[in-house]
Amino acid sequence: MSDTTETVYDTAKILAALPHRYPMLLVDRVVSISEEEGIHAVKAVSFNEDFFQGHFPGRPIMPGVLQIEALAQAAGILAIESLGLAGTGKLVYFMAIEEAKFRAPVTPGHLLTLRAGFVQKRSRVCKFWGKASIDDKVTCDVNFTAMIADA
């Protein structure tokens, strides 16, 4: 991967990079990706999301764990692209979630900005930072570790 990729990742390219599918695919578009700067992706939060039926009726809020999952999926794309693993069948698996903080609710109609980057990068285990936000207001920040392995 070059240092910076200007190309926006549309749905087709995201589906090629990640094994996730509806309703678990939580990255709608990649705005930019750089080994140095990390990844900038977005999730359009729609009232039609399955989780809003029960979380919470009358006051729909995106669960914090799904914000972390969205950040992890974005980081997975970054890892696959940065380590040259596209098309190899390798998967990025969670190993640890650390220092998760939820700072503001995410509700239907928001465009959730997902930013993630490497804290440590190795061939089989990577550590990431992640930050989700709406209009520059942080909704979640987290550090997490993932393992790269065969499917």
State the pLDDT at residue 34: 93
Query: What residues are labeled active site?
Result: 55
Residues 28-42: tens digit of each pLDDT: 999 999 989 999 999
17: pLDDT strictly greater than 50: yes
Residues 46-83: tens digit of each pLDDT: 999 999 989 998 999 999 999 999 999 999 999 999 99
Sheet-wide strand order for 90-102: 4-5, 29-34, 38-44, 111-121, 125-134, 137-150, 90-102
Q: What percent of the chain has pLDDT over 70?
A: 95
Task: Using DSSP, state whether 2 is helix, strand or coil.
Answer: coil
| Average pLDDT of the segment spanning 124-129 | 97
Q: Which residues contact 137 (CB under 8 A, 6 or more apart)?
A: 103, 104
Q: What are phi and psi of 2, to 5 degrees?
A: -70, 170
143: pLDDT strictly greater than 70: yes
Fold classification of 4-48+57-150 is Thiol Ester Dehydrase; Chain A (3.10.129)
Q: Which two tokens stand for residue 6?
A: 């200007």
CB 30 within 8 A of CB 61: no
Question: Mean pLDDT for the chain?
Answer: 93
1: pLDDT strictly greater than 80: no
Of 63, 51, 47, give the one whose Cα is nearest residue 106: 63
CA pair distance 94, 147, nearest whole angstrom = 6
Residue ranges covered by each domain of the chain? 4-48+57-150
